[in-house]
A and B are shown apart, each in its own frame.
Chain A
Amino acid sequence: MTQYTDNEMKAISAGRFIKDGDIVFAGTGVSILAATAAKRIYAPKAVVFFETGGVDPSLEEIPMAVSDSRVMSGTCLNSGLIDAFSIVGHRKFHTIAFLGAAQIDKYGNLNTTVIGDYHRPKTRFSGSGGACDVSSFASGVITFMQHEKRRFVDKLDYLTSVGWYKGGDSRKRLGLQRGGAFAVVTNLCVMKFDEETKEMYLAEYYPGITIDRIIENTGFTIDISRAVEALPPSAEELRILREEVDPQKLIL
């Protein structure tokens, strides 16, 4: 069997969700790998864009930040933040956003702000950036998480970005017209959200990962009745990821 790393499996698992015609909002780290891999492998007609205003860059090299000059190179349009957010929430487009977080709850709400008290935190993180905005506006959010109990929590220390809020139709009742958490991609598995309750459930566990290990590392109860084993990355998927997407091995 071909060997692969956590980041490779995450990038491939997330990239497989992207369809031709999707407009993909990418951040940095694994999310840029997933977005670039998606475009090169599964959805050549998907468009990758950044909240800073760069639309469809050639991405010959991996950007290290969403303001990296590499997101401005070979684009169809270089603009700014307000222009970028006019794309994320546009009713004509199916927009998928990749995010990461320090904490996530069972409804896919995210915390990227603090651990502990907001005013005097134990740990301060970067903050929302555009995460709160894309969670409000995008058609769907795919979140990358390190699968640990302290990160999959019952109650977030701070709710930076709204997923399904309190489940059911509560997101809509907040006044958010569309969107919501679409999937969570971790180093162990892929989680999705129930159509009715909007609670997170185990959709796919990676080859070699036991369901027990996933349960142990999740801080709330998850439904495992729908779980199937994920397809490992193919040799061709890995080749593209390693040779074309991140040949400098900046993230892989």
Chain B
Amino acid sequence: MSAYPEIADKLMTPKEAVKRYIKNGSQIALGGFTIARNPMAIAYEIIRQGLKDLHLVCHSHGQALDVLIGAGCVKRLEIAYGGNGRYAPTCIRFKKAIQRGEIEFEDYSNYQMSLRFLAGALGIPFIPTKSGLGSDLINLEGFSKKIRKERKVASRKYVVIDNPFNGVEDKVVLLPALTPDVALIHAQYVGEDGTVRIKGLTFTDIEQAKSADIVIVTCEEIVPRSFIRLDPDQNSLPPFFVDAIVRVPYGAHPTACYAFYDYDPKHLNLYKKVAEDEALFKKYLDEWVYGVSSHEEYLEKIGWTALSRIKANPVLGYAPGLDRK
């Protein structure tokens, strides 16, 4: 019998979760933000399973985005920002793919993307904002007319109208809602009842999860029902939103997971170096993604020394004094 009978049908390995819920061409919302809580364990598994033609939708993204693009899994992208903080002000494989014309892309802003997920979560077809008036985000479409006819792609990037409520000229931008096939979220805790708790900043993870057809939550720990229900004010998602629960300690490595571990500057610097070079990048994927068969093997390869170096002080939330150059 399962140790967690209430969620036994949702508990699975990264391998099972990807196999069951992600297909070639899936539209995927990536949780996290640049170098924090990227769903790395699932991203690596997507690459190992050789999935193609993914349509990623995200606000500011970093490592998971970049490695998925670099591995050739991504066909289409709606995005506000591709960067790894100081470790790659512009994500390198993302940059190369756009400069070489290898992926279809369309730019929005962070708030716009967040609002689009919110609209999807609320079940409304579009949502107004003042953000972007006058900018090329509004003036230039990234997708061609042909792409606009495809599944889960909005027929227009934006519509600008006059505020219908005040009777004077007052422009407003309408943004199309997003309803991704799958949202990938990495959380600190999932309760044995399936309740999700994200600690630190939630970014747009909650809206992303609620806007998606399928939600895969990877987590650091599965905690007792009594713990997660003792302080429900801290919780992020009720159990019924979640379709797959995957326990992967250090599952966001090399990005950070507040209160558990910091980002891994050594690994991000290594990645920055290899991402610039085709042969080195291929070797990196061979070694760190294809060359390991599971998340446990990946952790084994990173090694205890590296993991203990980035271990967060649970009170501060990060690893004080970590060499971050």
Give the B-binding residues of A (Cβ under 8 A): 28-29, 51-54, 60-61, 64-73, 78-82, 85, 89, 113, 118-133, 135-137, 158-162, 165, 171, 174-177, 248, 250
Contacts and interface: CB of A to CB of B under 8 A. Distances in A.
A68 B114 contact: no
A135 B134 CA distance: 11
A80 B205 contact: yes
Contact of A136 (B33, B85, B132, B258): B132
Contacts of A68: 35-36, 85, 256, 263, 318
Interface string B177-216: 0000000000000000000000011111111000000000
B153 interface: no
Given A165-B134, A175-B130, A65 B36 contact: yes
B317 interface: yes
Contact of A123 (B59, B99, B107, B118): B99
A159 B133 CA distance: 11
Interface stretch (B14-22, B87-95, B240-248, B284-292): B87-95
B111 A80 contact: no
Contacts, number: 206
A126 B134 contact: no
A178 B114 CA distance: 22
B98 to A, nearest CB: 4
Residue of A85, A128, A171, A176 ringed by the most chain B CB atoms within 10 A: A128
B86 A128 contact: no
Interface in B34-49: 34-37
Query: Helix, strand, loop or mixed for chain A's interface?
Result: loop
Nearest to A110: B135
B149 interface: no
A124 B115 contact: no
Given A66-B34, A129-B60, A175-B133, A28 B85 contact: yes
Interface of B: 32-37, 59-60, 62, 79-87, 89-91, 94-95, 98-99, 101, 107-112, 114-115, 118, 130-137, 139-140, 142, 169-172, 200-207, 256, 258-259, 262-263, 312, 316-318, 320, 324-325
A127 B107 contact: yes
B36 A60 contact: no
18 contacts: A65-B35, A68-B256, A80-B206, A81-B110, A85-B114, A121-B99, A122-B99, A126-B90, A127-B79, A127-B107, A128-B135, A129-B110, A130-B111, A159-B135, A160-B137, A161-B135, A175-B170, A175-B171
A158 B133 CA distance: 14
Contact of A176 (B81, B109, B133, B324): B133
Given A124-B98, A127-B81, 20 more contacts: A52-B201, A65-B62, A67-B32, A67-B60, A68-B318, A69-B312, A119-B101, A124-B90, A124-B95, A125-B90, A127-B82, A128-B80, A130-B60, A130-B81, A132-B131, A132-B137, A133-B111, A159-B136, A175-B172, A250-B86
B204 A82 contact: yes
Contacts of B107: 113, 127-128
B86 A124 contact: no
A6 to B, nearest CB: 17
A171 B134 contact: yes
Contact of A81 (B111, B170, B263): B111
Nearest to B140: A118
Contact of A67 (B109, B118, B201, B316): B201
A136 B130 contact: yes
B99 A52 contact: no
A183 B82 CA distance: 26
Contacts of A73: 316-318
B210 to A, nearest CB: 12
Contacts of B83: 65, 126, 129
Contacts of B312: 69
A80 B90 CA distance: 22
Contact of B201 (A79, A119, A177, A248): A79
B95 A118 contact: no
A28 B86 contact: yes
Contacts of B135: 128, 132, 135, 159-162
A81 B203 contact: yes
B80 A82 contact: no
A29 B256 CA distance: 19
A72 B201 contact: yes
A70 B136 contact: no
Contact of B203 (A53, A135, A248): A53
A52 B31 CA distance: 13
A132 B114 CA distance: 13
Residue of B107, B110, B140, B316 ringed by the most chain A CB atoms within 10 A: B110
B101 A120 contact: yes
A65 B99 contact: no
A80 B59 CA distance: 12
Contacts of B139: 159
Nearest to B144: A119
Contact of B133 (A54, A69, A79, A162): A162
B207 A69 contact: no
A29 B200 contact: no
